[in-house]
Amino acid sequence: GENVEQHPSTLSVQEGDSAVIKCTYSDSASNYFPWYKQELGKRPQLIIDIRSNVGEKKDQRIAVTLNKTAKHFSLHITETQPEDSAVYFCAVGSGNTGKLIFGQGTTLQVKP
Amino acid sequence: SQTIHQWPATLVQPVGSPLSLECTVEGTSNPNLYWYRQAAGRGLQLLFYSVGIGQISSEVPQNLSASRPQDRQFILSSKKLLLSDSGFYLCAWRIRIGQAGPLHFGNGTRLTVT
């Protein structure tokens, strides 16, 4: 089955700096790559996603890049703010079952 | 608009007791439904998913079972809880279409087995 590896497990940056989180996957048939943000004790919420026919997608300070050949994708957050502090999960999906396989998560701390 | 409800929000149960967690979705028909578990400080593990009434797929062998008695109702059960069943249980739904897409999560149930 699909295997998703996410790095780093923790990331600490100064406010205003950029943060990058990377994920690799194993199944070349995977075609959907979302990123979720989870604040402490709350549910994961979708922040951005990308499909396999697109190499990059941007939404304000957040961007995702996909390299299908290398089977990895990354989340980029620019001009980080303290409210960006949370756990971020990448996920991989394919087919019509819609199931998503998640990475282990990255705890991002933005220091004011 | 669509909403997803999970209850209870928190639950403390003794080892060996039964479990029933319920999830319902409003505002949509024929959703795909999912149960995930999140151990403390860990990622989300897919437990079960369902693409229709009575259709359940299990992702990992475990002490739990799932049922979908109605189109928008998904239930997670156990006959006898283990300590290792503790965790944050999340129900999710998505529109049933022919390609993968975003899952929408409920607020979760925090289960502590003592």
- Please tell me if residue B96 touches chain A, with a CB cutoff of 8 Å: yes
Write down the residue that tokens 């039964």 correspond to.
B18
**What is the band of A52 on the pLDDT scale with cuts at 50, 70, 90?**
confident
Rg (CA), chain A: 13
Residues in chain B within 8 Å Cβ distance of A86: none
Segment A2-6 shows an average pLDDT of 93
**pLDDT of the residue at A53:** 86
Name which of A101, A93, A23, A94 is nearest A65 in CA terms: A23
**What is the band of B100 on the pLDDT scale with cuts at 50, 70, 90?**
confident
Residues in chain A within 8 Å Cβ distance of B51: 96-97
**pLDDT of the residue at B99:** 78
**Could you check whether the bond before residue B102 is cis, i.e. omega within 30 degrees of 0?**
no
Segment B21-41 shows an average pLDDT of 93
CB B43 within 8 A of CB A102: yes
3-state helix, strand, coil in chain B (%, to 5): 5, 55, 40
Q: Which amino acid is at A29?
A: A
Write down the residue that tokens 């999960």 correspond to.
A89
Q: Could you tell me the two tokens for A106?
A: 């990255």
Q: Could you tell me the two tokens for B110?
A: 């925090």
- Please tell me if residue A94 touches chain B, with a CB cutoff of 8 Å: yes
- Please tell me if residue B32 touches chain A, with a CB cutoff of 8 Å: yes
**What is the band of A56 on the pLDDT scale with cuts at 50, 70, 90?**
very high
- Please tell me if residue A97 touches chain B, with a CB cutoff of 8 Å: yes
Q: Which amino acid is at B12?
A: V
CB A43 within 8 A of CB A58: no
**pLDDT of the residue at B81:** 96
Q: Could you tell me the two tokens for A2?
A: 């699909």
Residues in chain B within 8 Å Cβ distance of A34: 102-103
Query: Residue A92 pLDDT > 80, yes or no?
Result: yes
Query: How far is the C-alpha of B25 from the C-alpha of B39, rounded, in Å?
Result: 24
- Please tell me if residue B56 touches chain A, with a CB cutoff of 8 Å: no
Q: What DSSP character marks residue B85? A: G
Mean pLDDT of chain A: 95
Query: Residue B97 pLDDT > 80, yes or no?
Result: no
Segment B7-16 shows an average pLDDT of 96
Chain A nearest-CA distance from B17, in A, is 25
Query: Residue B39 pLDDT > 80, yes or no?
Result: yes
> Can you say whether residue B47 is alpha, beta or left, with left for phi > 0 and alpha for psi between -120 and 50 degrees?
alpha
Query: Residue A19 pLDDT > 90, yes or no?
Result: yes
Size of interface A-B (CB pairs under 8 A): 67
Contact A97 B49 (CB under 8 A): yes
Segment B57-80 shows an average pLDDT of 93
Segment A37-58 shows an average pLDDT of 94
